[in-house]
């Protein structure tokens, strides 16, 4: 539905598609003899369960996933040829690189030993790279890096990785864990409960009403409030209200792109699948 832009509803539907979680943005550096130097190339990497429509950071070992990246080269390299590199650190222990056959093979971590995934590619302002398509059987947290080597022979790459987690947890387990880790205290108790509580300004007008941490079952009670809210109202409306849209009685609460907003979006994406 996010993908449809029906003419009469362009505004509504195109705005709601902005709420879809994006790939993780990563900065870039140049590899020079003294270490790493500035580069204004930027990158983005994302793990998707729906072919790139939305992005998640956790998938199950049996899920069919696609991982894709974007290289936004330094402006002087756009239109120039470059080799493209994909490197991953599996579980914090073994380095692998994607070779020209598309297979992940061990890498010793040294720049001279790097082999490109793609050779002689003409860089565009936003160059798409397929990182992985299939089932990621290996459990744990994996770090993904991208890079390119233009004609000057200096490697540009992401110094910090995009980290993804491959788990055996069910979607409900993941949602419950996400709620406890990033939603309950940081969002519900901090930003919502002032109004969405017995006797608060949203009491009786909004579906979602929360209990404080004084209630020993606050985690399950408040989780259910969100689960019911997603079923009744949908993820897009909730995100819109939180951004201050749809005449939210509480106005704008979280800034789109902030850590809390992104966590809420990822949590709601999980609830949508329950």
Question: For binding to ligand HEC (CB under 6 A), which residues are involved?
Answer: 187, 191-192, 194-196, 201-202, 205-208, 229, 233, 238, 241-242, 247-250, 253-254
For tokens 């609460």, what's the residue? 253
Backbone angle region of 244, left / alpha / beta, with phi > 0 → left and psi within -120 to 50 → alpha: left
Contacts of 261-266 with CB under 8 Å at 24 or more apart are 262/21, 263/178, 263/182, 263/183, 263/186, 263/187, 264/183, 264/187, 264/239, 265/19, 265/21, 265/235, 265/239, 266/21, 266/56, 266/57, 266/178
CB of residue 9 to ligand HEC, shortest distance in Å: 20
CB of residue 206 to ligand HEC, shortest distance in Å: 4
CB of residue 171 to ligand HEC, shortest distance in Å: 20
**Cβ nearer to ligand HEC, comparing 157 with 267:** 267
CB of residue 238 to ligand HEC, shortest distance in Å: 4
**Cβ nearer to ligand HEC, comparing 81 with 233:** 233
**Cβ nearer to ligand HEC, comparing 68 with 240:** 240
Instruction: Enter the tokens of residue 76.
Output: 């002087």
Task: Render 88-119 in DSSP notation, one character per residue.
Answer: EEETTTEEEEE-TTS-EEE--S-GGG---SEE
Pairing of strands 104-106, 94-98: antiparallel
56 by DSSP, 3-state: which? strand
Residue ranges in 60-200 assigned as alpha helix (H): 171-178
The CA R_g of the chain, rounded to the nearest whole Å, is 21
CB of residue 216 to ligand HEC, shortest distance in Å: 22
Burial track 20-37 (b if 16+ CB lie within 10 A, e otherwise): bbebbebebbbbeeeeee
Q: Are 48 and 65 in contact (CB under 8 A)?
A: yes
CB of residue 203 to ligand HEC, shortest distance in Å: 9
CB of residue 150 to ligand HEC, shortest distance in Å: 44
**Cβ nearer to ligand HEC, comparing 89 with 242:** 242
**Cβ nearer to ligand HEC, comparing 158 with 236:** 236
**Cβ nearer to ligand HEC, comparing 214 with 247:** 247
**Cβ nearer to ligand HEC, comparing 175 with 229:** 229
């Amino acid at each position: 539905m996010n993908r449809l832009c029906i003419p009469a509803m362009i505004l509504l539907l195109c705005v709601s598609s902005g709420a879809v979680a994006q790939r993780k943005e990563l900065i870039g550096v140049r590899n020079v003899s003294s270490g790493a130097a500035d580069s204004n190339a930027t990158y983005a990497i994302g793990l998707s369960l729906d072919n790139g429509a939305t992005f998640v950071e956790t998938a199950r070992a049996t899920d069919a996933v696609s991982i894709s990246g974007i290289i936004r080269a330094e402006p002087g390299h756009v239109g120039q040829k470059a080799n493209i590199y994909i490197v991953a650190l599996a579980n914090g222990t073994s380095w692998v690189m994607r070779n020209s056959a598309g297979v992940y093979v061990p890498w010793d971590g040294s720049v001279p030993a790097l082999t490109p995934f793609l050779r002689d590619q003409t860089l565009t302002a936003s160059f798409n790279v397929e990182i992985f398509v299939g089932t990621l059987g290996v459990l744990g947290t994996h770090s993904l890096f991208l890079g390119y080597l233009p004609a000057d022979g200096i490697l540009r790459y992401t110094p910090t990785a995009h980290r993804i987690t491959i788990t055996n947890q069910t979607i409900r387990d993941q949602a419950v864990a996400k709620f406890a880790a990033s939603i309950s205290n940081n969002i519900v108790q901090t930003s919502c409960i002032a109004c969405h509580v017995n006797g608060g300004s949203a009491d009786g007008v909004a579906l979602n009403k929360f209990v404080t941490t004084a209630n020993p079952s606050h985690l399950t009670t408040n989780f259910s409030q969100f689960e019911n809210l997603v079923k009744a109202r949908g993820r897009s409306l909730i995100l819109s209200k939180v951004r201050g849209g749809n005449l939210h009685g509480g106005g704008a609460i979280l800034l789109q792109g902030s850590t809390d907003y992104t966590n809420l979006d990822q949590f709601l994406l999980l609830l949508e699948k329950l």
